[in-house]
Chains A and B, each alone.
Chain A
Amino acid sequence: MTARSTASSATADAFDPLELGAASDTPPPAPAPDTAARLRWPRLRTTEWVGVGILAVVAATILIVPLLPGSDPYAQNLSASFIPPFTDAAHLLGTDMLGRDLASRVAVGGQVSLGIVLFVVAINAFVGMVTGMIAGYAGGRLDNLLMGWADVQLAMPIILVLIALSAALGPNVWLMILTLAATYWVGYARVARSAAMSLKGRDFVIAPRIQGASPQWIVSTHIAPHVGVQVLILASADIGGVLLLTSSFDYLGLGVQAPTPSWGLLISEGQKYVREAPYLALIPGIAIFLVVIGTNLLSQRFTAERELSALRRRKKVRA
């Protein structure tokens, strides 16, 4: 246990560009004159480069394909339906049941899916960061209230919340986005809170307080930049997970609505023709897989560390 925990906190420090992992709340060896000077880009490992490469290829593909001449995700041509992939130069990935070009649909679907994911992650990161910093810096009753609400959220299955709202208001994309925005920021709030708590006792936070700076000023200028780095790391790790979630909702018909393509929706359309044209579902499925694998490779080090510390925390609570 001891050997392992020192080893893992060492890796945490090596990865953490600011050396303020939740575990290490010891003061730094020398006072830092400038935050920006101490920020450095973490050195990437081979697997992480692979992740970057996969994501770059997917991003380039979905951005470039819709710009190519003759690429239209909505143009129907019933005489050219179910063209298998790699048999027709005009439709490289083939066509669907209505003769629409699959390559364009997957590319535009990717823009829609990933656009939604980035939007949701950005909102969650922002809301979670603000809430967490306030809870961590203010402490006391506010902290209890916010973290109590966070616990309630964790126990609520998001899909049931979305089912209830969709039944009442009719399924649509904005309902999905708002549900995710309202319920998925807990992880960010936790990270931001523990970071803010560990920063509270540092000299560069205490000094302005003595000089009479307001809490808002301290949080926004002195704490936010440090917390921001951690939130950013978590956000990049979250992209894959949120893509899995939103694609599932699209697949179930609770998110993006036809005829707008999205990867989850394309798979649910393709499932109806799984015997005649399995490629209709396979190609968008592979696209989801690539993005999730890419972001997971990129964030592996960080998530492994977080899972371990979560396990330890829970054990401590129990014991």
Chain B
Amino acid sequence: MVRLVARRLIQAAATIFVVVTIAFGLGRLSGSPAALLLGDNASREQIDALNASLGFDQPLWKQYVDYLIGIVTRGDFGDSYRQRGISSMQLVLERVPASLQLGAVGLVAGVLLAALAAVAVHLTRSPALRTSLLTIGAARQAIPDFFFGLLLVLVFSVALGLLPSLGNRDPVAIIMPAATIATAQFVVYLRLLDNALGEQSRLDYTRTAYARGEGRFRVVVAEMLPNAVLPVMTIAGISLGSFLGGLVIVENVFAWPGLGQLMLSAVYARDFPVVQSGLIVVAALFILSNALVDLLSALVDPRVRHLA
């Protein structure tokens, strides 16, 4: 187990290093931000002074080394171009809690609903329920997240006037963005869990449990569900990337002040240091949650534990 954790840590550090390097390379691809920061009327001396203060007059390898040294020794990821003097990493970290909150609420709600629905399908064994749930799911999947969010705004903000359409000041404001994420995740996990439960229901241990005289509720919830959750969790880890992508989109639909919204506004403003720091934080979060999924699998399944 210790070896596993150590290997994981080394992998994580290597990945972060690669992301930092790529982010640095992309940043230098865009060249000096002088034109952007000083406007068209800047004099030659002003531009040179700015380039010198940002280190753009140094050779590329020196800039890269300075960037790495700054990160390691001072935790300095570079200042934002748009808000001079403010660390880009500070701007990014301020936005992380809002993103985590929205992502967690949406994901947990979606997975719980999917589990409830899948269990209901297998308890009732009703083909009609299954077909209607899967049809609704297929319809939801054909609507892009940003348009689904807009439909929610149309119904609940414009027509009914119940919920605020923007921001996160109001505690109920999380309902619509979280519902957008939850419904998208619901579809994915409903199908996975339904398939997994279907496979479990055909295995010998299930038949034995019924033969022992156990009730259907007990068999489905206490015996089949824990076994069905495992493959689903593996896929959850794999599809984390597309989940993060969905989060970026939903934050922008509802002007939710999270990381995705910050990074996109930084793209429009060509504020590369913020995008750079954002990428590094997202990569770190991505690695962390992947490790969490693996850890959870090991906790749930003794086979995975022993393999490690």
Spell out A's residues near B (CB within 8 Å).
1-4, 154-160, 163-171, 240, 244, 247-248, 251-254, 264, 267-268, 271, 274-275, 278, 281-282, 285, 288-289, 292-293, 296, 307-308, 310-311, 314-315, 318-319
Contact = CB atoms under 8 A, between A and B. Distances in A.
B-side interface size class: 35 or more
A163 B138 CA distance: 29
Given A159-B248, A319-B303, A168 B139 contact: no
A307 B195 contact: yes
B154 A248 contact: no
Given A285-B150, A315-B231, A157 B242 contact: yes
Contacts of A293: 138-139, 142
Contacts of A285: 143-144, 147, 150-151
A236 B154 CA distance: 32
Task: Provide the main secondary structure of the chain B interface.
Answer: helix
A160 B245 contact: yes
Given A167-B30, A252-B252, A318-B304, A289 B142 contact: yes
Given A275-B158, A318-B301, 11 more contacts: A3-B202, A157-B286, A163-B275, A165-B26, A167-B271, A252-B248, A268-B146, A285-B144, A288-B147, A315-B231, A318-B230
B144 A248 contact: yes
Contact of B143 (A155, A289, A315): A289
A170 B30 CA distance: 8
Interface core residue of A157, A240, A282 (most chain B CB under 10 Å): A157
B241 A296 contact: no
A210 to B, nearest CB: 41
A164 B26 contact: yes
A78 B301 CA distance: 65
A154 B238 CA distance: 8
B245 A308 contact: no
A314 B235 contact: yes
B173 to A, nearest CB: 16
Interface string B95-114: 00000000000000000000
Given A244-B144, A311-B195, A163 B263 contact: yes
B266 A167 contact: yes
Contacts of A253: 264, 268
B241 A248 contact: no
Contacts of B279: 160, 163-164
A157 B249 contact: no
Interface of B: 22-23, 26-27, 29-30, 138-139, 141-147, 150-151, 153-154, 158, 191-192, 195-196, 198-199, 202-203, 230-231, 234-235, 238, 241-242, 244-245, 248-249, 252-253, 263-264, 266-268, 270-272, 275, 279, 282, 286, 297, 301, 303-304
A271 B158 CA distance: 12
Contact of B147 (A163, A281, A310): A281
Contact of A314 (B30, B231, B271): B231
Which 8 residue pairs of A and B lie closest in terms of their CB atoms, listed nearest first? A292-B142, A157-B241, A159-B245, A167-B275, A168-B30, A285-B147, A168-B26, A293-B142
A171 B267 contact: yes
B272 A168 contact: yes
A307 B267 contact: no
B270 A307 contact: no
Contacts of B268: 171, 253
Given A167-B272, A271-B150, A4 B235 contact: no
A315 B234 CA distance: 9
A4 B275 contact: no
B289 to A, nearest CB: 12
Nearest to B18: A152
9 contacts: A155-B241, A160-B245, A164-B23, A253-B268, A274-B150, A274-B153, A292-B142, A314-B235, A319-B303
Given A274-B154, A288-B147, A296-B142, A1 B249 contact: no
B63 to A, nearest CB: 15
A315 B141 CA distance: 25
A171 B269 CA distance: 11
Contacts of A155: 238, 241, 286
B195 A267 contact: no
B147 A296 contact: no
B142 A168 contact: no
A268 B282 CA distance: 25
B91 to A, nearest CB: 14
Contacts of A247: 144, 146
Contacts of A159: 244-245, 248-249
Nearest to B146: A251
A248 B158 contact: no
Contacts of A310: 235
Nearest to B200: A1
B192 A318 contact: no
A169 B147 contact: no
A307 B199 contact: no
Contacts of B142: 240, 289, 292-293, 296
B30 A169 contact: yes
A166 B267 contact: yes
B231 A311 contact: yes
Nearest to A308: B195
A174 to B, nearest CB: 15
Given A156-B241, A157-B242, A274 B158 contact: yes
